[in-house]
Structure 1
Protein backbone atom coordinates (compact mmCIF):
# COMPACT_ATOMS: atom_id res chain seq x y z
CA UNK A 1 0.00 0.00 0.00
CA UNK A 2 1.29 3.44 -0.97
CA UNK A 3 0.23 6.60 0.85
CA UNK A 4 -0.48 9.77 -1.13
CA UNK A 5 -1.63 13.29 -0.38
CA UNK A 6 -3.34 15.88 -2.55
CA UNK A 7 -3.17 19.65 -2.06
CA UNK A 8 -5.00 22.32 -4.01
CA UNK A 9 -5.12 26.10 -3.70
CA UNK A 10 -7.31 28.19 -5.96
CA UNK A 11 -4.58 30.40 -7.44
CA UNK A 12 -0.81 30.85 -7.56
CA UNK A 13 -0.89 33.63 -4.95
CA UNK A 14 -2.54 31.46 -2.28
CA UNK A 15 -0.52 29.55 0.28
CA UNK A 16 -0.65 25.78 0.58
CA UNK A 17 1.30 25.57 3.87
CA UNK A 18 -1.67 24.58 6.08
CA UNK A 19 -2.52 21.63 3.85
CA UNK A 20 1.14 20.60 3.54
CA UNK A 21 1.63 20.65 7.32
CA UNK A 22 -1.46 18.47 7.86
CA UNK A 23 -0.28 15.89 5.30
CA UNK A 24 3.24 15.79 6.71
CA UNK A 25 1.87 15.12 10.19
CA UNK A 26 -0.01 11.99 8.98
CA UNK A 27 2.69 11.41 7.63
CA UNK A 28 2.60 11.32 3.84
CA UNK A 29 5.99 10.91 2.11
CA UNK A 30 7.06 14.22 0.58
CA UNK A 31 7.50 12.66 -2.87
CA UNK A 32 3.90 11.42 -2.75
CA UNK A 33 2.30 14.84 -2.17
CA UNK A 34 0.76 16.27 -5.34
CA UNK A 35 0.00 20.01 -5.49
CA UNK A 36 -2.20 22.00 -7.87
CA UNK A 37 -2.52 25.78 -7.87
CA UNK A 38 -5.72 26.43 -9.78
CA UNK A 39 -9.48 26.62 -9.43
CA UNK A 40 -11.41 23.61 -8.17
CA UNK A 41 -14.27 24.11 -10.62
CA UNK A 42 -13.22 21.01 -12.61
CA UNK A 43 -10.71 18.16 -12.55
CA UNK A 44 -8.59 19.17 -15.52
CA UNK A 45 -5.50 19.67 -13.32
CA UNK A 46 -1.95 18.57 -14.10
CA UNK A 47 -0.88 17.20 -10.70
CA UNK A 48 -4.25 15.58 -10.08
CA UNK A 49 -3.96 13.74 -13.39
CA UNK A 50 -0.45 12.53 -12.45
CA UNK A 51 -1.78 11.37 -9.08
CA UNK A 52 -4.61 9.43 -10.72
CA UNK A 53 -2.08 7.54 -12.85
CA UNK A 54 -0.08 6.61 -9.74
CA UNK A 55 -2.97 5.36 -7.60
CA UNK A 56 -3.47 1.60 -7.43
CA UNK A 57 -6.04 -0.56 -5.65
CA UNK A 58 -5.34 -0.62 -1.91
CA UNK A 59 -3.51 2.71 -1.84
CA UNK A 60 -4.48 5.44 0.63
CA UNK A 61 -5.15 9.07 -0.32
CA UNK A 62 -5.25 11.92 2.21
CA UNK A 63 -6.81 15.35 1.62
CA UNK A 64 -7.29 18.01 4.26
CA UNK A 65 -10.89 18.81 3.29
CA UNK A 66 -13.43 17.58 0.77
CA UNK A 67 -13.40 20.83 -1.21
CA UNK A 68 -9.76 20.19 -2.15
CA UNK A 69 -11.12 17.70 -4.64
CA UNK A 70 -13.37 20.39 -6.06
CA UNK A 71 -16.26 22.71 -5.23
CA UNK A 72 -18.87 21.37 -7.63
CA UNK A 73 -21.34 18.98 -6.00
CA UNK A 74 -21.71 16.63 -8.97
CA UNK A 75 -17.99 16.48 -9.75
CA UNK A 76 -16.99 15.78 -6.13
CA UNK A 77 -19.49 12.91 -6.02
CA UNK A 78 -18.18 11.48 -9.29
CA UNK A 79 -14.53 11.74 -8.24
CA UNK A 80 -15.23 10.09 -4.88
CA UNK A 81 -16.96 7.22 -6.67
CA UNK A 82 -14.08 6.94 -9.18
CA UNK A 83 -11.46 6.84 -6.43
CA UNK A 84 -13.24 4.62 -3.92
CA UNK A 85 -15.14 2.26 -6.20
CA UNK A 86 -13.38 2.09 -9.56
CA UNK A 87 -9.78 2.55 -8.41
CA UNK A 88 -10.57 0.82 -5.09
CA UNK A 89 -8.37 3.08 -2.98
CA UNK A 90 -9.06 4.36 0.52
CA UNK A 91 -9.68 8.06 1.06
CA UNK A 92 -9.24 9.94 4.32
CA UNK A 93 -10.48 13.52 4.75
CA UNK A 94 -8.45 14.86 7.65
CA UNK A 95 -10.84 17.55 8.87
CA UNK A 96 -13.84 15.18 8.74
CA UNK A 97 -13.02 11.81 10.41
CA UNK A 98 -16.36 10.33 9.29
CA UNK A 99 -15.05 10.53 5.71
CA UNK A 100 -12.49 7.74 6.00
CA UNK A 101 -13.22 4.72 3.84
CA UNK A 102 -11.01 2.51 6.01
CA UNK A 103 -13.61 2.68 8.75
CA UNK A 104 -17.11 1.24 8.71
CA UNK A 105 -16.97 -0.82 5.55
CA UNK A 106 -20.23 -2.48 6.55
CA UNK A 107 -23.60 -1.28 5.27
CA UNK A 108 -24.18 1.25 8.08
CA UNK A 109 -20.66 2.67 7.84
CA UNK A 110 -20.97 3.05 4.08
CA UNK A 111 -24.38 4.70 4.42
CA UNK A 112 -23.07 7.23 6.97
CA UNK A 113 -20.00 8.03 4.87
CA UNK A 114 -22.13 8.52 1.74
CA UNK A 115 -24.55 10.74 3.64
CA UNK A 116 -21.76 12.90 5.08
CA UNK A 117 -20.13 13.14 1.64
CA UNK A 118 -23.35 14.35 0.03
CA UNK A 119 -23.94 16.94 2.75
CA UNK A 120 -20.37 18.28 2.64
CA UNK A 121 -20.35 18.38 -1.17
CA UNK A 122 -23.59 20.36 -1.12
CA UNK A 123 -22.24 22.75 1.53
CA UNK A 124 -18.99 23.25 -0.43
CA UNK A 125 -20.84 24.17 -3.62
CA UNK A 126 -23.31 26.39 -1.76
CA UNK A 127 -20.48 28.28 -0.08
CA UNK A 128 -18.77 28.81 -3.43
CA UNK A 129 -21.97 30.18 -4.93
CA UNK A 130 -22.53 32.43 -1.91
CA UNK A 131 -18.97 33.79 -2.19
CA UNK A 132 -19.54 34.61 -5.88
CA UNK A 133 -22.85 36.28 -5.03
CA UNK A 134 -21.24 38.37 -2.25
CA UNK A 135 -18.41 39.36 -4.59
CA UNK A 136 -20.87 40.45 -7.30
CA UNK A 137 -22.90 42.44 -4.76
CA UNK A 138 -19.73 44.05 -3.40
CA UNK A 139 -18.58 45.04 -6.88
CA UNK A 140 -22.01 46.49 -7.69
CA UNK A 141 -21.98 48.59 -4.50
CA UNK A 142 -18.42 49.76 -5.17
CA UNK A 143 -19.27 50.74 -8.75
CA UNK A 144 -22.31 52.67 -7.49
CA UNK A 145 -19.92 54.60 -5.24
CA UNK A 146 -17.69 55.41 -8.20
CA UNK A 147 -14.93 52.87 -7.57
CA UNK A 148 -13.13 52.00 -10.79
CA UNK A 149 -12.02 48.43 -11.53
CA UNK A 150 -9.24 47.27 -13.83
CA UNK A 151 -6.23 49.24 -14.98
CA UNK A 152 -6.64 53.03 -14.87
CA UNK A 153 -7.13 54.49 -18.34
CA UNK A 154 -4.20 56.42 -19.73
CA UNK A 155 -4.68 60.19 -19.70
CA UNK A 156 -4.64 62.21 -22.91
CA UNK A 157 -2.01 64.95 -23.29
CA UNK A 158 -2.77 68.50 -22.18
CA UNK A 159 -2.78 69.72 -25.79
CA UNK A 160 -5.26 67.03 -26.88
CA UNK A 161 -7.72 69.62 -28.20
CA UNK A 162 -5.00 71.26 -30.30
CA UNK A 163 -3.90 67.89 -31.69
CA UNK A 164 -7.51 67.09 -32.63
CA UNK A 165 -7.89 70.39 -34.47
CA UNK A 166 -4.75 69.98 -36.58
CA UNK A 167 -5.66 66.35 -37.28
CA UNK A 168 -9.18 67.37 -38.36
CA UNK A 169 -7.55 69.99 -40.64
CA UNK A 170 -5.50 67.11 -42.13
CA UNK A 171 -2.23 68.74 -41.12
CA UNK A 172 -1.08 65.50 -39.47
CA UNK A 173 -1.91 61.86 -40.19
CA UNK A 174 -3.95 59.56 -37.98
CA UNK A 175 -0.86 57.54 -37.04
CA UNK A 176 0.91 60.77 -36.11
CA UNK A 177 -1.90 61.96 -33.83
CA UNK A 178 -1.94 58.55 -32.13
CA UNK A 179 1.81 58.73 -31.65
CA UNK A 180 1.66 62.23 -30.16
CA UNK A 181 -1.23 61.30 -27.86
CA UNK A 182 0.54 58.06 -26.87
CA UNK A 183 -2.73 56.16 -26.50
CA UNK A 184 -4.39 53.20 -28.23
CA UNK A 185 -6.76 53.61 -31.17
CA UNK A 186 -9.80 52.55 -29.13
CA UNK A 187 -8.92 55.02 -26.34
CA UNK A 188 -8.35 57.78 -28.90
CA UNK A 189 -11.81 57.35 -30.45
CA UNK A 190 -13.45 57.18 -27.02
CA UNK A 191 -11.73 60.37 -25.91
CA UNK A 192 -12.45 61.97 -29.28
CA UNK A 193 -16.21 61.38 -28.80
CA UNK A 194 -16.01 62.84 -25.29
CA UNK A 195 -14.04 65.85 -26.54
CA UNK A 196 -16.45 66.55 -29.40
CA UNK A 197 -19.51 66.25 -27.14
CA UNK A 198 -17.95 68.72 -24.73
CA UNK A 199 -16.85 71.04 -27.52
CA UNK A 200 -20.16 70.99 -29.34
CA UNK A 201 -22.01 71.49 -26.07
CA UNK A 202 -20.00 74.61 -25.33
CA UNK A 203 -20.56 75.91 -28.84
CA UNK A 204 -24.31 75.28 -28.50
Structure 2
Protein backbone atom coordinates (compact mmCIF):
# COMPACT_ATOMS: atom_id res chain seq x y z
CA UNK A 1 0.00 0.00 0.00
CA UNK A 2 1.40 3.38 -1.01
CA UNK A 3 2.15 6.13 1.45
CA UNK A 4 -0.88 8.28 2.28
CA UNK A 5 -1.48 11.84 3.47
CA UNK A 6 -4.21 12.22 6.08
CA UNK A 7 -5.71 15.25 7.77
CA UNK A 8 -7.23 15.54 11.22
CA UNK A 9 -9.72 18.26 12.14
CA UNK A 10 -11.22 18.84 15.58
CA UNK A 11 -13.57 21.48 16.90
CA UNK A 12 -14.40 21.64 20.58
CA UNK A 13 -18.18 21.63 20.19
CA UNK A 14 -20.85 20.99 17.57
CA UNK A 15 -21.48 24.76 17.45
CA UNK A 16 -17.96 25.61 16.28
CA UNK A 17 -17.16 25.91 12.58
CA UNK A 18 -14.52 23.58 11.17
CA UNK A 19 -14.30 25.33 7.77
CA UNK A 20 -11.02 27.15 8.50
CA UNK A 21 -9.28 23.86 9.24
CA UNK A 22 -10.83 22.14 6.20
CA UNK A 23 -9.70 24.96 3.90
CA UNK A 24 -6.13 24.60 5.23
CA UNK A 25 -6.25 20.84 4.59
CA UNK A 26 -7.43 21.32 1.00
CA UNK A 27 -4.77 23.97 0.34
CA UNK A 28 -2.11 21.54 1.56
CA UNK A 29 -3.46 18.91 -0.81
CA UNK A 30 -5.17 16.48 1.56
CA UNK A 31 -7.93 14.60 -0.26
CA UNK A 32 -11.41 15.16 1.27
CA UNK A 33 -11.90 11.43 1.84
CA UNK A 34 -8.62 11.32 3.82
CA UNK A 35 -9.73 13.96 6.34
CA UNK A 36 -10.94 12.71 9.73
CA UNK A 37 -13.00 15.04 11.90
CA UNK A 38 -14.25 15.06 15.50
CA UNK A 39 -16.59 17.57 17.08
CA UNK A 40 -15.94 17.32 20.79
CA UNK A 41 -13.64 18.48 23.54
CA UNK A 42 -9.93 17.70 23.55
CA UNK A 43 -9.93 16.93 27.24
CA UNK A 44 -9.41 13.25 26.44
CA UNK A 45 -8.76 11.09 23.39
CA UNK A 46 -12.03 9.17 23.45
CA UNK A 47 -12.79 10.46 19.95
CA UNK A 48 -14.11 8.03 17.32
CA UNK A 49 -12.60 9.65 14.22
CA UNK A 50 -9.21 10.06 15.90
CA UNK A 51 -9.20 6.40 16.95
CA UNK A 52 -10.04 5.30 13.39
CA UNK A 53 -7.27 7.53 12.07
CA UNK A 54 -4.69 6.05 14.45
CA UNK A 55 -5.59 2.54 13.29
CA UNK A 56 -5.13 3.63 9.68
CA UNK A 57 -1.78 5.38 10.07
CA UNK A 58 1.34 3.45 9.09
CA UNK A 59 5.04 4.07 8.55
CA UNK A 60 5.70 6.51 5.74
CA UNK A 61 2.30 8.20 5.94
CA UNK A 62 1.90 11.89 6.77
CA UNK A 63 -0.61 13.40 9.18
CA UNK A 64 -1.54 17.05 8.67
CA UNK A 65 -3.10 19.15 11.44
CA UNK A 66 -3.84 22.88 11.54
CA UNK A 67 -2.40 23.48 15.01
CA UNK A 68 -0.77 21.39 17.71
CA UNK A 69 -3.72 21.74 20.09
CA UNK A 70 -5.83 19.62 17.71
CA UNK A 71 -4.04 16.65 19.30
CA UNK A 72 -5.27 17.70 22.74
CA UNK A 73 -5.05 20.37 25.41
CA UNK A 74 -2.93 18.61 27.96
CA UNK A 75 0.86 18.87 27.95
CA UNK A 76 1.50 15.21 28.69
CA UNK A 77 -1.18 13.92 26.31
CA UNK A 78 0.00 16.01 23.37
CA UNK A 79 3.54 14.70 23.81
CA UNK A 80 2.24 11.14 24.18
CA UNK A 81 0.19 11.34 20.97
CA UNK A 82 3.16 12.89 19.16
CA UNK A 83 5.34 9.99 20.34
CA UNK A 84 2.79 7.37 19.27
CA UNK A 85 2.36 8.88 15.81
CA UNK A 86 6.00 9.67 15.00
CA UNK A 87 7.85 6.94 16.89
CA UNK A 88 5.48 3.97 17.27
CA UNK A 89 3.59 4.42 14.00
CA UNK A 90 6.49 5.90 12.05
CA UNK A 91 4.14 8.52 10.59
CA UNK A 92 5.29 12.06 9.82
CA UNK A 93 3.41 15.04 11.24
CA UNK A 94 2.96 18.46 9.62
CA UNK A 95 1.58 21.29 11.79
CA UNK A 96 0.42 23.98 9.38
CA UNK A 97 0.47 26.85 11.88
CA UNK A 98 4.03 26.00 12.97
CA UNK A 99 6.36 25.16 10.03
CA UNK A 100 9.10 24.03 12.41
CA UNK A 101 6.84 21.16 13.46
CA UNK A 102 7.33 19.10 10.31
CA UNK A 103 8.86 15.62 10.58
CA UNK A 104 8.52 14.47 6.96
CA UNK A 105 11.31 12.47 5.35
CA UNK A 106 14.01 14.57 3.80
CA UNK A 107 14.44 16.74 6.86
CA UNK A 108 17.84 16.24 8.44
CA UNK A 109 18.45 15.11 12.01
CA UNK A 110 18.80 18.68 13.19
CA UNK A 111 15.42 19.58 11.73
CA UNK A 112 13.76 16.64 13.46
CA UNK A 113 15.47 17.50 16.74
CA UNK A 114 14.30 21.12 16.47
CA UNK A 115 10.75 19.89 15.85
CA UNK A 116 10.81 17.80 19.02
CA UNK A 117 12.26 20.66 21.09
CA UNK A 118 9.75 23.20 19.73
CA UNK A 119 6.88 20.79 20.43
CA UNK A 120 7.93 20.29 24.03
CA UNK A 121 8.43 24.03 24.53
CA UNK A 122 5.03 24.92 23.04
CA UNK A 123 3.24 22.22 25.03
CA UNK A 124 4.96 23.32 28.24
CA UNK A 125 4.07 26.97 27.68
CA UNK A 126 0.43 26.06 26.94
CA UNK A 127 0.19 23.89 30.05
CA UNK A 128 1.83 26.57 32.21
CA UNK A 129 -0.60 29.18 30.90
CA UNK A 130 -3.59 26.97 31.77
CA UNK A 131 -2.23 26.38 35.28
CA UNK A 132 -1.64 30.14 35.67
CA UNK A 133 -5.26 30.83 34.66
CA UNK A 134 -6.52 28.25 37.15
CA UNK A 135 -4.33 29.78 39.87
CA UNK A 136 -5.69 33.27 39.15
CA UNK A 137 -9.24 31.92 39.24
CA UNK A 138 -8.57 30.24 42.60
CA UNK A 139 -7.02 33.42 43.98
CA UNK A 140 -9.99 35.44 42.72
CA UNK A 141 -12.44 33.07 44.40
CA UNK A 142 -10.46 33.17 47.65
CA UNK A 143 -10.41 36.99 47.59
CA UNK A 144 -14.16 37.10 46.89
CA UNK A 145 -14.84 34.73 49.79
CA UNK A 146 -12.70 36.93 52.06
CA UNK A 147 -14.96 39.84 51.09
CA UNK A 148 -17.96 37.78 52.12
CA UNK A 149 -19.13 36.81 48.65
CA UNK A 150 -20.84 33.43 48.66
CA UNK A 151 -20.54 30.74 45.99
CA UNK A 152 -22.65 27.75 45.16
CA UNK A 153 -26.37 27.26 45.62
CA UNK A 154 -28.05 29.57 48.13
CA UNK A 155 -28.80 27.92 51.46
CA UNK A 156 -32.41 26.86 51.97
CA UNK A 157 -34.35 29.05 54.41
CA UNK A 158 -35.52 27.35 57.59
CA UNK A 159 -39.28 26.77 57.28
CA UNK A 160 -41.69 27.39 60.16
CA UNK A 161 -42.52 23.69 60.23
CA UNK A 162 -38.94 22.94 61.27
CA UNK A 163 -39.22 24.26 64.84
CA UNK A 164 -41.85 21.86 66.26
CA UNK A 165 -40.12 18.96 64.54
CA UNK A 166 -36.79 20.12 65.99
CA UNK A 167 -38.28 20.07 69.50
CA UNK A 168 -39.70 16.58 68.96
CA UNK A 169 -36.32 15.40 67.69
CA UNK A 170 -34.61 16.95 70.73
CA UNK A 171 -37.03 15.01 72.93
CA UNK A 172 -36.24 11.78 70.98
CA UNK A 173 -39.83 11.48 69.77
CA UNK A 174 -38.71 11.25 66.13
CA UNK A 175 -35.46 10.61 64.32
CA UNK A 176 -33.62 13.20 62.24
CA UNK A 177 -34.41 11.20 59.10
CA UNK A 178 -38.13 11.18 59.92
CA UNK A 179 -38.06 14.92 60.51
CA UNK A 180 -36.19 15.46 57.23
CA UNK A 181 -38.72 13.37 55.30
CA UNK A 182 -41.59 15.35 56.82
CA UNK A 183 -39.93 18.60 55.73
CA UNK A 184 -39.02 17.14 52.32
CA UNK A 185 -35.34 17.96 52.77
CA UNK A 186 -32.21 15.86 53.08
CA UNK A 187 -31.03 14.36 56.35
CA UNK A 188 -27.92 16.59 56.23
CA UNK A 189 -30.01 19.73 55.71
CA UNK A 190 -32.09 18.99 58.81
CA UNK A 191 -28.96 18.36 60.88
CA UNK A 192 -27.38 21.59 59.60
CA UNK A 193 -30.44 23.54 60.71
CA UNK A 194 -30.38 21.70 64.04
CA UNK A 195 -26.75 22.69 64.63
CA UNK A 196 -27.68 26.33 64.07
CA UNK A 197 -30.38 25.94 66.70
CA UNK A 198 -27.86 24.53 69.15
CA UNK A 199 -29.03 20.95 68.72
CA UNK A 200 -27.57 18.74 71.41
CA UNK A 201 -27.80 15.37 69.64
CA UNK A 202 -26.33 15.30 66.17
CA UNK A 203 -26.60 11.71 64.93
Checking the alignment, whether the CA contact within 8 Å between 2:42 and 2:70 is kept in structure 1 is no
Count of residue pairs brought into register by the alignment: 191
Checking the alignment, whether the CA contact within 8 Å between 1:100 and 1:113 is kept in structure 2 is yes
Partner of 1:33, secondary structure, is strand
Report 1:23-172 matches (<5 A): 23-25=21-23, 26-27=25-26, 29=32, 32-35=35-38, 37-38=40-41, 40=43, 44-47=45-48, 48-102=50-104, 105-170=107-172
Give the Cα–Cα distance (whole angstroms) in 1 for the partners of residues 145 and 106 of structure 2: 53
**Could you list the per-position Cα deviations for residues 28-84 of structure 1 after superposition, in whole angstroms to 9, with x for gaps in the alignment?**
6377323263453xx552333333112233333233322332344444333212212
Partner of 2:148, secondary structure, is coil
Checking the alignment, whether the CA contact within 8 Å between 2:93 and 2:103 is kept in structure 1 is yes
Checking the alignment, whether the CA contact within 8 Å between 1:36 and 1:45 is kept in structure 2 is no
Indicate yes or no: 2:175 matched with 1:177.
no
> For residues 184 and 145 of structure 1, do their structure 2 counterparts lie closer, same or farther at Cα, with a shift above 3 Å needed?
same
Give the Cα–Cα distance (whole angstroms) in 2 for the partners of residues 126 and 103 of structure 1: 32
Checking the alignment, whether the CA contact within 8 Å between 1:83 and 1:89 is kept in structure 2 is yes
Give the Cα–Cα distance (whole angstroms) in 2 for the partners of residues 179 and 78 of structure 1: 52
**5+ long unaligned stretches in structure 1:** 200-204
Residue among 3, 28, 35 paired with 2:6: 3
Partner of 1:196, secondary structure, is coil
Q: Which moved more, 1:114-123 or 1:103-112?
A: 103-112
Q: CA deviation at 1:184?
A: 0.2
**5+ long unaligned stretches in structure 2:** none
Structure 2 length normalisation: TM-score?
A: 0.76
Match of 1:21 in 2: 19
**Could you list the per-position Cα deviations for residues 101-156 of structure 1 after superposition, in whole angstroms to 9, with x for gaps in the alignment?**
23861123223322321221221121122122112112212222233333333333
Checking the alignment, whether the CA contact within 8 Å between 2:5 and 2:62 is kept in structure 1 is yes
Give the Cα–Cα distance (whole angstroms) in 1 for the partners of residues 42 and 22 of structure 2: 23
Structure 1 length normalisation: TM-score?
A: 0.76
Partner of 1:150, secondary structure, is coil
